Amino acid sequence: MDVSTKPRPAAPARPSARERILAAAGDIAHEVGPANMSLDAVAARAGVSKGGLLYHFPAKAQLLEALIVDHLRHFEQELGDHRNEKGGLANILRSYLDVSMVDCARKAPPASGVLAAIVQHPEMMAPITRFKRQMLDRLKADAGEESTALILFLAMEGMRSMKLFNADILSAEETGRAVEALCDLIDSTRRPANPA
């Protein structure tokens, strides 16, 4: 009953302004289109003044870059978590597939933020391209056959792009069957677990 235990009456344990801004940027980009994301709108959505926003991100480009960095780090994090859960036994192909699909099942906003960054500053695609190239190399290293890694990678890029554009083309059933087929592909070309 005593409200005084919570010094701040509203918003218990509210995320930091920075996090709120990043999340708001994704939301706004998703709502008005990635090309039309204005700082005013982001600030308002984040519950921050424009001055406050510019304190955390002195230029729009820096906000956009943060969106990308965040996204990449988040994916890498989830990939690591997934592999640890499986005790490091699962091969990367499967982890990559699972994490990508979980990512795609999420709400669109975060991806829209990344899209906003890319279309406003095409050069920001570079770190993403690098990241994906490394990802592909990791897949190739662990795949029994190169073609398996390539097809899996391409299929996941396809999934991701459909999510990025909010294009719900595949039904849930089709998505499930596609994943199943990719699993079969991975397993059928799996190389001998350990040469020892």
Count of residues binding DNA (CB under 7 A)?
A: 24
Token digits for 183?
């699993």
36 binds DNA (CB under 7 A): yes
- DSSP for 22-82? HHHHHHHHHHH-GGG--HHHHHHHHT--HHHHHHH-SSHHHHHHHHHHHHHHHHHHHHHHH
Which residue shows structure tokens 């994943």? 179
Quick one: which of 168, 187, 188, 191 contacts a copy of itself (CB under 8 A)? 168
15 binds DNA (CB under 7 A): no
Quick one: which of 12, 51, 87, 192 contacts DNA (CB under 7 A)? 51
183 binds a copy of itself (CB under 8 A): no
Residue nearer to DNA on the CB measure, 15 or 176:
15
Q: Closest Cα partner for 169 from 159, 155, 178, 179?
A: 159
Q: Closest Cα partner for 182 from 84, 75, 69, 98?
A: 98
| Cβ–Cβ < 8 Å for 17, 56 | yes
Quick one: which of 19, 40, 85, 180 contacts a copy of itself (CB under 8 A)? 180
Q: Which stretch binds a copy of itself (CB under 8 A): 3-11, 17-25, 92-100, 176-184?
A: 176-184
Task: Specify the long-range contacts of residues 190-195, CB closer than 8 Å, at least 24 apart.
Answer: 190/91, 190/144, 191/143, 191/144
Residue nearer to DNA on the CB measure, 47 or 80:
47
Q: How far apart are CA 165 and CA 68, in angstroms?
A: 16
Quick one: which of 146, 187, 188, 191 contacts a copy of itself (CB under 8 A)? 146
187 binds a copy of itself (CB under 8 A): no
177 binds a copy of itself (CB under 8 A): yes
Residues that bind a copy of itself (CB under 8 A): 33-36, 115-116, 118-122, 125, 128-129, 132-133, 136, 146-147, 150-151, 153-162, 164-170, 174, 177-178, 180-182, 185
Residues that bind DNA (CB under 7 A): 7, 16-18, 36-41, 47-56, 58-61
